[in-house]
Chains A and B, each alone.
Chain A
Amino acid sequence: MSLYTETITSLRSKLSAKEVSPREIVESLLKRIESVDPKIKGYLWMNAEEALQQADAADLSKPLGGIPIAIKDNLNVVGNPCTCASKILENYQALYDATVISKLREAGAILLGRTNMDEFAMGSSTENSSWGKTRNPWDIDRIPGGSSGGSAAVVGAHEAIASLGSDTGGSIRQPAALCGCVGMKPTYGRVSRYGLVAFASSLDQVGPFTKTIEDSALLTQVISGYDPRDNTSAPQAAPDFLSDLKKGVKGMRLGVPKEYFVAGMDSQVEKGIRDAIQQFQSLGAEIVEVSLPHTEQATAVYYILATAEASANLARFDGVRYGHRASNPTDVLDLYGRSRAEGFGSEVKRRIILGTYVLSSGYYDAYYNRAQKVRQLITRDFTEAFQKCDAILTPTSPTAAFKIGEKSQDPLQMYLADIFTIAVNLAEVCGLSLPCGFTSEKLPIGLQIIGPKWGESTILRVGQAYEQSTTWHQQRPNL
């Protein structure tokens, strides 16, 4: 078995037994990337030299000592490009490390390269990248999901042991489901956002892509914790996510929301989820029906609040201090107008315009304010549901990976790709996706496990019990 197929956990034991060296791991991955990434196009930028240097200097006593991690292109790594897959940040180099990057460095990780994404994390297919489309490792004619499609695809294609992404409405969980890996969206406030280029500040959260639940627990552990640079990060230490991991689900109550099995859901996806629910039952969990009645409004609420925040967050990209600047502007308005018109792609423009509109005087109450109120109701739905159960099981995505170009001309269809994941961000709770089967076309299906605020230990434990009783996570794409 090649080293690139290993997990963090298995490599850690091989490293401490001195069976392998960090350099061998990096070299194995570089070779793998060289052979498959021309097909997948998950990476935007590599610094092989630096990764090898970090490998040689790795401190194996640290929790991620010698383990390479791929990074989504919207997380600042000092000296690396940080383009958010946007022309407006072409040639931009980060001036500082994001807090999660500092934490990775402190834990001994090797920073492997930058992964593709939808421009400014706006999209569900990674087709909105200015630097080309990333392919699904299980079928390269299909999308890997998004917006963290690059981070999901490189883990799914075993071009990375693990990676970091960001999740605003499903941008970790949905591509994880579509690429057959584990994706964790931690509770809002669990992980520092400092250094993550903001899309929607009240929803964004950084999280890991891994091949197993145990790796997810390990990586989530490393990046969690209070950060004085992020006013919205919770002033509390993260618990040990590994300590309860293997305790099983016997006696746990798992909720199934009736609203999540909707008409239009792919029947194979539905079957995959129903089978998983059965599996939990056979593992000794009690399945209870719960209700999340405002789920239906979640997508509308999301596209008001997220775009409103984005319209302000993206205002700083104006060609004045950094990034793309239009040539020969006649005055400052021309500089703004053309720099932004040339720099942003059409989906980003669409969302800036939408966000500007919903905040405009005369519309603010009808849209922004109202959406905030419904957000409260969605949050309350979860609070009430978690009085009846320990975690909630849903599909991650209504369909398996769709074809490239299939939905790119229809933004509304694309927005529906996130209907099962969006409410989790709005309610600030945590959720993960893990493989729970394949369609007849051998496309991965993802199961979403949602936990209450600060409930990462619970959903990791539920995920671990399922993963250890199935073999889906051991399957590999043919590349």
Chain B
Amino acid sequence: MEYEAVIGLEVHVQLKTNSKMFCSCKNEYGGTQNSHVCPVCLGMPGVLPVPNQEAVTKTIQTGLMLGCHIAPRCKFDRKNYFYPDQPKNYQISQFDQPLCEGGGVPLNLFAFPKDVQNDPHVNFNKVIRLTRIHLEEDVAKSFHYDTSSGIDFNRAGTPLMEIVSEADIATPEEAFAYLTALRQILVYGGVSDADMEKGQMRCDVNISIRPKGQIEFGTKCELKNLNTISGVRRSLHSEIARQIEVVSAGGEIRQETRRWDDAKGQTFLMRIKEKAHDYRYFPDPDLLPLRTDQGLFAEAQRRVPELPQAKIKRLQSDYGVTEYQAGVLASEIAFANYFESAAQPAKNKVLIANFLLNDYLATSPDVTAIPIPPHYFTEISELVDSAKINSKQAKEVFAEMIASNKAPAVIVKEKGLEQVTDLGALEKWCDEAIVANDKSVADYKSGKLGAINALKGYVMKMSKGKANPSVIDEILIKKLTS
């Protein structure tokens, strides 16, 4: 029997704010243990929470970027459970009135893993629907030693968004693409750095399988300890295979929480879920209902940036790059910004894209911190475009530019690479080429247009590689067709 997977993701995202969700402690990754703490985030007797408006605004902004409905009025609730990493033994969260509902994350080709980007069976333009986004406070971090445990409360009270998807994800690759596309939007909006390895973006996965075509869901398992996007993909492949194996052997899937072991490439049982935990949610009486329609919504709207899909379209129309090029450029906002500052003053904007996507990416995959200033790209493309150097020389200049961080014009001068664009000399070489290559001339005239390359090669040889190939083209065509 053929099975299909049904996958839903719960993603926790730490918001980039100066202070914590309900107190004025610094919201900062790292720092000496228990240094960013105060009576409020330690849950001392008598303290009260005060909501961080910036965190609320950023959550609304996220909702707007993802097409969610924003509640004009909502509230905070207490989620009750005892755990040492939770100072109050309740978490301030949102239960039945989240800030954002609905919306979705549009996937795109570039969000998928490279090895499936040519797979014709993949629907690259699927939209994964969202159930909701709510705002809550993060818990502290526990450390376990041989005979004791320690708690670092620096993280306790960090503003945290929980983004819950519908069970729309059908493959591990879609899960990968979902997380990549979501992360891209969060970074675009400046709401989070969303670095999974720093715990700024954390992901719980719900996964079940069912016979293909069946409508009812199977029993789901929850996967934990997923620390990278590719780890999510690997864990899902492993877990789907495990579930299919169990069911194929006549067994049943139990509702359980499983821990992904990336080194072993397997999931392991953590605990069996016997019944749903009763969190005894109720509205937090310390916090007034939250109005978003009195300024916060407008502020969030003001902050919504151009999103990846719009940027891809605009890069195509403004700079004439292909959809593929625009997609790669837009994959990181820093890369797109770099391209735009290099391309804006340039005449031949596509040439800049080519340099960045072919030549630069061949030297380094790092698109967020390109070590040379963008105007070097402007300069080198101007040199090529104005036929000062040819494309072969450009490669040489480019390599030197990356290696030495010298301006292209300087390199050209040092290496004596200026192309010959003296029309008199070029015409002379072209005439010689036509005289010396009867057959190619005849071939060209009989319609084999490719024969012109032999003539071009002759001229290049005569010029010792310094002739401008496009000018040669022009002259030869003129001479052969007149």
Contact = CB atoms under 8 A, between A and B. Distances in A.
Interface of A: 74-76, 82, 84, 89, 92, 94-96, 98, 193-198, 200-202, 228-232, 308-309, 311-312, 315-318, 320-322, 332, 336, 356, 359-361, 364, 368
A315 B89 contact: yes
A320 B39 contact: no
Nearest to A86: B45
B217 interface: no
Contacts of B84: 318, 320, 332
Contacts, number: 95
B88 interface: yes
A318 B82 contact: yes
A201 B278 contact: no
Contacts of A317: 45
A312 B78 contact: yes
Contacts of A312: 78, 80, 88-90, 280, 282
Interface stretch (B12-20, B184-192, B283-291): B283-291
B48 A229 contact: yes
Interface of B: 39, 42-51, 78, 80, 82, 84, 87-90, 151, 278, 280-282, 284-288
21 contacts: A74-B46, A194-B47, A194-B48, A201-B285, A228-B50, A230-B48, A230-B50, A231-B50, A232-B285, A232-B288, A309-B285, A312-B89, A315-B90, A316-B45, A318-B82, A320-B151, A322-B44, A336-B82, A356-B280, A364-B282, A368-B282
B152 to A, nearest CB: 13
Given A98-B46, A194-B47, A311-B80, 7 more contacts: A201-B286, A230-B50, A231-B48, A232-B288, A309-B282, A312-B89, A316-B43
Most A C-beta atoms less than 10 A away, residue of B43, B45, B285: B45
Contacts of A360: 278, 280
Given A82-B45, A89-B45, A316-B43, A359 B282 contact: yes
B80 A84 contact: no
B51 to A, nearest CB: 7
B280 A196 contact: no
Given A231-B287, A360-B280, A92 B45 contact: yes
Contacts of B284: 201
A313 to B, nearest CB: 9
Contact of A359 (B48, B80, B87): B80
Nearest to B84: A320
A197 B45 contact: yes
Nearest to B78: A312
A306 to B, nearest CB: 10
A194 B288 contact: no
Most A C-beta atoms less than 10 A away, residue of B46, B50, B51, B288: B46
A95 B39 CA distance: 7
A361 B282 CA distance: 11
Given A82-B46, A197-B46, A316 B88 contact: yes
A359 B39 CA distance: 27
Nearest to A368: B282
Contacts of A315: 80, 82, 88-90
A202 B280 CA distance: 17
A361 B280 contact: yes
A174 to B, nearest CB: 22
A127 B84 CA distance: 32
Nearest to B88: A316
A317 B88 CA distance: 8
Contacts of A322: 44
A438 to B, nearest CB: 37
A368 B95 CA distance: 15
A312 to B, nearest CB: 5
A229 to B, nearest CB: 6
B243 to A, nearest CB: 29
A228 B82 CA distance: 29
A231 B78 CA distance: 15
Contacts of B43: 316, 321
Contacts of A89: 45
B44 A95 contact: yes
Contacts of B46: 74-76, 82, 94, 98, 194-198
Nearest to B81: A315
8 closest Cβ contacts across the A-B interface? A315-B89, A202-B285, A359-B280, A201-B285, A197-B45, A195-B46, A197-B46, A316-B43
A364 B77 CA distance: 14
Contacts of B44: 95-96, 322
Most A C-beta atoms less than 10 A away, residue of B43, B49, B82, B287: B82
B19 to A, nearest CB: 13
Nearest to B42: A321
B282 A308 contact: yes
Nearest to B50: A231
B109 to A, nearest CB: 44
B236 to A, nearest CB: 31
A89 B45 CA distance: 10
A309 B82 CA distance: 16
Contacts of B82: 315, 318, 336
Nearest to B282: A359
Contacts of B47: 194-195
A356 B45 CA distance: 20
Contacts of B39: 95-96
B50 A361 contact: no
Contacts of B42: 321
A315 B87 CA distance: 9
A255 B409 CA distance: 93
A135 to B, nearest CB: 27
A239 B43 CA distance: 33
A198 B39 CA distance: 14
A265 to B, nearest CB: 32
Most A C-beta atoms less than 10 A away, residue of B80, B87, B281, B286: B286
B50 A229 contact: yes
A220 B418 CA distance: 87
Given A96-B39, A231-B286, A315-B90, A84 B48 contact: no
A193 B82 CA distance: 25
Contacts of B89: 312, 315-316, 318
Nearest to B153: A321
Contacts of B51: 231
B309 to A, nearest CB: 39
Given A312-B80, A315-B88, A315-B89, A193 B48 contact: yes
A111 B468 CA distance: 91
A98 B39 CA distance: 11
A231 B288 contact: yes
Contacts of B280: 311-312, 356, 359-361, 364
A231 B50 CA distance: 6
A233 B458 CA distance: 88
A432 to B, nearest CB: 24
Nearest to B51: A231
A228 B22 CA distance: 12
B33 to A, nearest CB: 14
A477 B285 CA distance: 40
Contacts of B78: 312
A322 B82 CA distance: 15
A198 B88 CA distance: 12
Nearest to B276: A361
B282 A84 contact: no
A74 B44 CA distance: 12
A82 B39 CA distance: 14
A267 B39 CA distance: 49
B286 A321 contact: no
Contacts of A228: 50
A455 B284 CA distance: 26
Nearest to A120: B45
Nearest to A317: B45
A172 B88 CA distance: 27
A192 to B, nearest CB: 8
A91 to B, nearest CB: 13
A368 B51 CA distance: 25
A316 B42 CA distance: 10
